[in-house]
Structure 1
């Protein structure tokens, strides 16, 4: 079931605003209730003050005096005699006189609310009526026995309304500020999440190079870093899978080529040997080189067939000088043909150096030099011994440095230069440097390249072993 889309802004903003609005309404209602209580207390205080002023007064409570007192106290006053007859009033009662008299009789000292129709034609108004008795009412000259005090209900309603409206206005302004801040923060949050979503979609489509982390140390920032880490791991895994596919393809190609080359090389060697016997030229250097090249090619084919069958050829320790001389002899015809200026350097202490597998090292170094002489007319080869360091555990190494003045490595393939089938040559298969890399890994060494000035430099390091093939300390 597909869920309907709801923006995160709404899912965060609506509950917050609803809660804030409910809180504002509750506070407003509570303020209205408290305002009502304050109005009642204010009414009692005013009534008590009026009662203390008028109840035992010695001045006559006639119409003129009541008008002045009503204006001062902002009330309406009605004076009654001992027979409950109205003697003086600050409001014209008209037909409502009986209602006021009845209300005064039933209310006693309690407050009541009643509606009185003003005789001056104004709209109906509500009052609260409280009464008290005067001191010596029957014997007073004005014969006023009790006073009814009418408080305008509109004043108390305004007090309650002001209290609630103030609370509601405060709540609404708080809601507005809260909603603005929340909308701003959620917009930023949603923007970061959408960026993360687009990044994940790119990862799902196979793009593992771009990054999404905004380097903010919160949960979304950590999630972005986790996505970047996942993309990096997927990139490594993807490259490994491609490498494995290329290796499988390489095995298949090697198998097919090896079977064809084995027959061709066997025939070529027999033909060269027969020609040498017929021409009685066994001492001819060119024939020796040709036979040696055929022998090396036969050895390569044998190794390819072993690799294709899942087997590994046994290591054959060899002295490095013998292997190095074989390389020079085998490459000399190509060097002469291409008119390459070669500069061979052999360092000290390499005469007795032994490497764990002579044929593999010879093939790797031959590939490095062959690439250089096809890229430049000036090539330098250095063979030297790197002493070990017992304090750091570094073992002695045999280093081959091949440099040339060629155009260098294309930056588009520099990161994958040692992978199979990676090459910038239109006619190349991209297998030479992958063989060098695999040889270095097999020896426990490494191969690397760099560009220094106008020269491209490759370095191959392999550990030095003893006569039995064990690494030396």
Structure 2
């Protein structure tokens, strides 16, 4: 059975407060009633004491004053047991029927309302007490009568304030408890709604309250969870899309590799059969480009399918010179200013073909970014005795800060016709050589720095050395 949290807070709290308040109210009411009774008794006791010690006759005026002070009625008997004075406005026949003695017999009366003697006169009940008169003046006894109705009314008047106060306090407690539990319940209900929306794939954050408490901390945790789930779902979607593209790309790359291999073999066959083919520089460059493209396809297969290939060390100078020869016709055609610095070091990298493909990809990206009449630069320098840096820069529009972390991911491209594998392959080649690929900015130009670990370094012979 569902028991709302509002009731879990409200019901026990109200029950405890109700029991405590009832105990306090009843105790206060009982004490107030007792105090009222004691006040009545004290007034009557003072009257009785005054009567017992009186040295004056009990005239009608004296009895009326005593009546107004105490609220009691008085009946006076003479020595012949006849009623001589009375404050009761009753029929004389009714007064004549009053007993000359109280049921408790003669004697002094100290506490009339605690006595057992109750008389009914003219339809009204009185607590009664008889006082033996000892001061003469022809008076034998005085009957003191206190109305039971007045006694009950005094008790009620003493009881009502305590009960009224207790009721008001209880009402305030219930209202305050309902409001507090309702506020907490509403906040929990909003959190529940937010969690339900998260379960439906909606990741809007919960609005934070202005005060800090456990529910605010829970809201912050829910917002963090929503952000993490949204990121995870986006990663899952990207992964699924990447797996699909990887599968398609891997299949296409496999067929392209076979086609490139066949084309390279055809050119080599033509070179072997044609006497002028061995001296034809264009065929040699075509073979070199086909081999380089084949290596790129192998790198693509390694990236998409995890295929392994044998890597061969190569001199950095040979790698750069060969790559520069490949791009020079392109920069001349687009009238791009291409400034490059060679390296005279004997330093070698562990994967010459991979580095050659990486530098070629970076140069082609720089040429596309610079555009016609643009500027592209290539420089090399040693960071330390073993770390070689190759920087390719351009004066193109650059990479926005929003996508700097995305450009190295496979299949991410800002080109409409691009597939987003060039930088991923370059970064993979850098890792294979225990290096890295990073994006830096220099003098307003976009610059990609390819850092590589070299073998047999000779930084003294390097064209430029940087700290």
Q: TM-score, normalised by structure 1?
A: 0.78
Does 2:321 match 1:331?
no
Contact 2:133–2:140 at 8 Å: present in 1 too? no
The CA deviation at 1:294 is 0.9
RMSD (Å) for aligned C-alpha atoms: 3.8
The CA deviation at 1:4 is 6.1
| 2:115 corresponds to | 111
Aligned equivalents of 2:105 and 2:395: distance in 1?
A: 119
Does 2:342 match 1:351?
no
| 2:380 corresponds to | 383
Does 2:398 match 1:401?
no
| 1:61 corresponds to | 58
Where do 1:308-457 residues align within 5 Å?
310-345=306-341, 351-377=345-371, 378-387=375-384, 396-409=386-399, 413-449=403-439, 454-457=444-447
| 1:296 corresponds to | 292
C-alpha change, 1:252 and 1:453, in structure 2 (3 Å) is same
Match of 1:71 among 46, 68, 87: 68
Q: Counterpart of 2:216 in 1: which secondary structure? A: helix
C-alpha change, 1:318 and 1:85, in structure 2 (3 Å) is farther
> Structure 1 unaligned runs (5+)?
119-123, 389-395, 468-473
Does 2:236 match 1:241?
yes
C-alpha change, 1:453 and 1:276, in structure 2 (3 Å) is same
- Deviations 1:68-109, CA, capped at 9 Å, x for gaps: 221233332223456765442211233764886499425985
Aligned equivalents of 1:453 and 1:82: distance in 2?
A: 134
Contact 2:369–2:397 at 8 Å: present in 1 too? yes
Match of 2:86 among 84, 89, 92: 89
Where do 1:104-253 residues align within 5 Å?
104-106=102-104, 109=109, 110-111=114-115, 127=126, 129-136=127-134, 140-150=136-146, 153-154=149-150, 157-158=153-154, 160-166=156-162, 168-169=164-165, 172-173=168-169, 175-176=171-172, 178=173, 185-186=180-181, 189-190=184-185, 192-207=187-202, 210=205, 217-253=212-248
- Deviations 1:169-226, CA, capped at 9 Å, x for gaps: 36525743x5665566556545543553454344334455846666865322322232
Aligned equivalents of 1:160 and 1:444: distance in 2?
A: 97
| 1:393 corresponds to | none
The CA deviation at 1:429 is 1.5
Q: Counterpart of 2:312 in 1: which secondary structure? A: coil
The 10-residue stretch of structure 1 (449-458 or 49-58) with the greater mean CA deviation from structure 2: 449-458
C-alpha change, 1:161 and 1:262, in structure 2 (3 Å) is same
Q: Counterpart of 1:280 in 2: which secondary structure? A: helix
Q: Counterpart of 1:416 in 2: which secondary structure? A: coil
Does 2:25 match 1:28?
yes
Aligned equivalents of 1:209 and 1:340: distance in 2?
A: 49
C-alpha change, 1:250 and 1:352, in structure 2 (3 Å) is farther
Q: Counterpart of 1:92 in 2: which secondary structure? A: coil
Q: Counterpart of 1:402 in 2: which secondary structure? A: strand
| 2:276 corresponds to | 280
Aligned equivalents of 1:113 and 1:78: distance in 2?
A: 15
Aligned equivalents of 1:387 and 1:360: distance in 2?
A: 22
The CA deviation at 1:400 is 2.8
Aligned equivalents of 1:10 and 1:42: distance in 2?
A: 46
The CA deviation at 1:126 is 5.7
The CA deviation at 1:231 is 3.3
